[in-house]
Amino acid sequence: MANKPAVYNNRLGLKGWVYAGKYSFERYLYIGHRLSGMGLIAYMVLHIIETANRMRGEEAWAALMGLFASPVFKVIEYLLFAAAVFHAMNGVRLLMVELGFFLGKPEEPVFPYKSSVMKHRPLTYIIMLLAGLIIVLGGSSLFFE
């Protein structure tokens, strides 16, 4: 008797695509911060290698610059810009959280307890919306000049 694959009911619909599940929004920001940081480090290494190519002569440099003028590298440049903006804005958010901004006044704990993460949630949304706006505006200036 063959095992049938489990059938899952998609009770959340489209919301299920962005539903954080058992993880919070901040957990996804943490993962994105780590990934964008590693991507920026990889870019720095590749940028040093690319700049060192200048020592191979003018022809090699011109060939490399011609390669970078292709539309594929425009998209890669945009992704690099998006990663840098996200990483910077999330870093500002983390700094503000660590310094205790938007925490509110101390109050008597009453059940059900309100997590400090929930007090910072509006700050998180505002900063991520601002980052999204900067990324969209930066992309429009990059692609539509």
**Is 90 exceeded by the pLDDT of residue 12?**
no
Q: Classify the phi-psi angles of 122: left when phi > 0, otherwise alpha if psi is within -120 to 50, otherwise beta.
A: alpha
Number of domains the chain is built from: 1
User: Is residue 130 within 8 Å of 89, Cβ to Cβ?
Assistant: yes
Q: Does 10 fall in a domain?
A: no
The one-letter code for the residue type at 137 is L
Please report, for the domain that includes residue 54, its CATH number: 1.20.1300
Q: Does 9 fall in a domain?
A: no
User: Is residue 36 within 8 Å of 83, Cβ to Cβ?
Assistant: yes
The residue segments making up the domain with residue 50 are: 23-143
Alpha helices in 54-114 (DSSP H): 58-68, 71-98
Q: Does 105 fall in a domain?
A: yes
Q: What is the pLDDT of residue 8?
A: 66
Q: Does 57 fall in a domain?
A: yes
- Work out the burial of residue 114: count CB atoms within 10 Å of its CB; fewer than 13 is exposed, 13-18 middle, 19 or more buried: exposed
Q: Which whole number is the average pLDDT over 83-88?
A: 98
Q: Does 119 fall in a domain?
A: yes
In percent, how much of the chain has pLDDT > 90?
A: 41
Q: What is the mean pLDDT of the chain?
A: 86
Q: What is the pLDDT of residues 96-122, one digit of tens each?
A: 988 888 877 777 888 887 777 778 888
Q: Does 7 fall in a domain?
A: no
Q: Which whole number is the average pLDDT over 54-74?
A: 89
**Is 70 exceeded by the pLDDT of residue 16?**
no
